[in-house]
Amino acid sequence: MAAPIPVNRIGGPLEVGLHQDGRRLTPQRRKVLELFERIGTGTHLSAEEVHHQLVQEKSKVSLATIYRTLRLLVSMGFLHELELNEGGHRFELSSHDHPDHHHLVCVRCGRTEEFESSQVLDAGRIAAEKIGFQLIESTLNVRAICPKCQ
């Protein structure tokens, strides 16, 4: 299974990875990743929620910059992107502790809760091996309606 890049210190892996690609560690990129580090693993934010939180912190950053930064951080392995069927996207900090976890997603409000299941992992592994695939990760998104929206 592919292990996410550790995100313990922003100045380390992020700065090195950006410089290898000829990019800079801009204040906006730093602030986005710092936000995810502060809220920790298991919290899923949309680009709009990231923008709102940073604006509340008096950061001057455009929504377009947030979208570009989130895509960059996903491509570098610092964030994980959860694609919802309704076309929305949520982002979370990559984690070594819970690389293969699953999500319950409310189809009305977008609330997202994580869960782990060894049965889902086993089913993914067995299905991959049966067809000759090599399993990289296993995630399941369960669409449901949360108690608040019922």
CATH code at 105?
3.30.1490.190
Task: Indicate whether 12 and 51 sit together in one domain.
Answer: yes
Task: Indicate whether 116 and 81 sit together in one domain.
Answer: no
What's the rounded Cα separation, in Å, for the pair 22 and 27? 16
Which domain range does residue 75 map to? 1-99
Domain count, the chain: 2
Task: Indicate whether 41 and 74 sit together in one domain.
Answer: yes
Task: Indicate whether 125 and 72 sit together in one domain.
Answer: no
The pLDDT tens digits for 64-75 are 999 999 998 888
DSSP letter at 80 equals: E
Task: Indicate whether 32 and 78 sit together in one domain.
Answer: yes
Element containing residue 106 per DSSP (H, E): strand 102-106
The pLDDT tens digits for 22-48 are 667 788 888 998 898 888 777 888 999
pTM of the predicted protein model: 0.67
Q: SS3 letters for 2-18?
A: CCCCCCCCHHHHHHHHH
Judge contact between 141 and 102, C-beta under 8 A: yes
